[in-house]
Structure 1
Amino acid sequence: MLMLNKTDLAPASFILNGVPGLEEMHVWISFPFCSMYVVAMVGNCGLLYLIHYEDSLHRPMYYFLAMLSFTDIVVCSSTIPKTLSIFWFHLKEISVDECLAQMFFIHTFTVMESGVLMLMALDRYVANCYPLRYLIILTNPVIAKAGLATFLRGVLLIIPLTFLTKRLPYCRGNVISHTYCDHMSIAKLSCGNVKVNAVYGLMVALLIRGFDILCITVSYTMILQAMVSLSSADARQKAFSTCTAHICAIVFSYSPALFSLFSHRFGDHIIPPSCHIMVANIYLLLPPTMNPVVYGVKTKQIQDCVPRILSGSKDSKSHSI
């Protein structure tokens, strides 16, 4: 195992140590991770193909779903292949540049995932509160600009974090007690002042999550008001059914994300490191695994399209929002 002298401030590589304390369980842990990754890749790639292939799915809701699927593919593919190589082949070494690149992709696309969930909430707000103007408000150029803005937001916020991490002197060894290159896990190896890194990282996480959760909350408050005003229970049920898949996606994404964020910074002496790392992996794996499953089960239009894809036929009819 590579180690550093105290005077060496620029390691050539880091060592990802997997899940400390559970080394003997690495092979067993790898099976659910691998299974979830396969489901995530098959499900999200399938959704992307389905949305591209089916003319009836060329609508704002499914364009946003395609953005979510693409984001989920990048997030889990940035971490799980390396994690499995650690568990199966003990290939723990990763160069500094590769580590920083992995950190950049993970944090950029988790920020983007949060933004896409916010855009999907706004989409549901327009669909339920302004159904007759839905396609007029959410045109293809508007959707493209919203998606680009969400991506650029992540890039512009995470680039400074990457450079702040790169400039740090590392003299506390080069062993990262994690399965991937997380920002704070890298920063903890530094003997320099990491206060700027910690404050900036926390502020970005809280501001982004806070802003997106606020927008989601306001959107669903308006949606609930619109539902209450509907005259029949069937109409309310139909309106609510268009939101259930998105609500599930929010729960799967934000619950482990917020737990990981606060426990990593404030719960070091309460929660075991192995628990931190397992939750951090679930945070990146659970949404990509569950989102295509939930949307496949809860969305009738997708259910209707799957048999046509399997039979080789194509239907260009439009469906309701």
Structure 2
Amino acid sequence: MNLTATSWVLPTPPVALAPLAGITDLPFRQLVARFGAGWVVSEMVASQDMVQAKPSVRDRAELGFDQRATAVQVAGRDAHWMAEAARMVADNGAAVIDINMGCPAKKVTGGLSGSALLRTPDHALRLIEAVVNAVDVPVTLKTRLGWDDTCLNAADVARRAEGAGIALVTIHGRTRCQFYKGSADWAAIRAVRDAVTIPVIANGDIVDAATARSALAQSGAAGVMIGRGAQGRPWLLAQVCADLYGTPAPQVPVGHAFSSMVATHYEAMLAFYGKTLGARVARKHLGWYMDTATAPTTLRQAVLTATDPAYVLALLPDALAGFAPDLRTAA
């Protein structure tokens, strides 16, 4: 058994960036980390595809192996490939490996990966054991409350995962069949917290310091993980850290500083993916930034349909000029 779990120290402050497919790539994670976060988690990558070096996955697997406070998330259904992927990322400098047992997407669960593993907990445990035994770095687990309302087995899965050497469990407060509908049930996470001695992290619908505080109170969790709430607001995690744990408050960019930050993020995506793919991947981030700034419709359309990066960069100052952040500390 990998003994690193018993000596692993929860990162502080315990506020993490969730893995979001197609969103939490290296440029975005680095931006969030610069503002301040306890740790960040890479996009989910398929274990077999990563080991066999399929280019599309390898591109996303530029995971920041040696980046401080970064966990690399792997997914799969085969113990051999999960272990091989874990060895690969650990050998390349990953500090933490996270196992995905929470993704609800049909293309993932249809392949018996992600949250589908909640329906086969014995098999899930074999995957966990294979990963833990393959590496000498901490291994964490991200999952949901269960498959559906008749299969709420997260507490049992977490208990067995702890026994196999998992160092931390993150629970999204929904079942797989809920996808992202309704509201996250933070109170239901408490059963998981009570079943284990390792840290439990609450996830789902945490969008500011107030919801983070409520999630902690209802779940009894040791920390929170924020995903969609950080879209268009990469400083959000640092704000939550400041409000809940007294770390220095981030300097939220306004005016020219805001458009400059967005431009730098845009250029980082172009450099990371290449001009054509980068411009396409960047559109969703630009859209979220313009949502945050309440950009005029005409400018929004112009930015999102432009094909020339230089033109996009020229439009951004006007498109983002309306941003006026609420800097009040949440009660």
Query: What is the TM-score of this pair, normalised by structure 1?
Result: 0.24
Higher radius of gyration, 1 or 2: 1
Identify, as 1 or 2, the structure richer in strand.
2
TM-score (structure 2 length as normaliser): 0.23
Q: Which fold has the larger relative contact order, with Cα–Cα distance below 8 Å and residues 6 or more apart in sequence?
A: 1
Higher helix share: 1
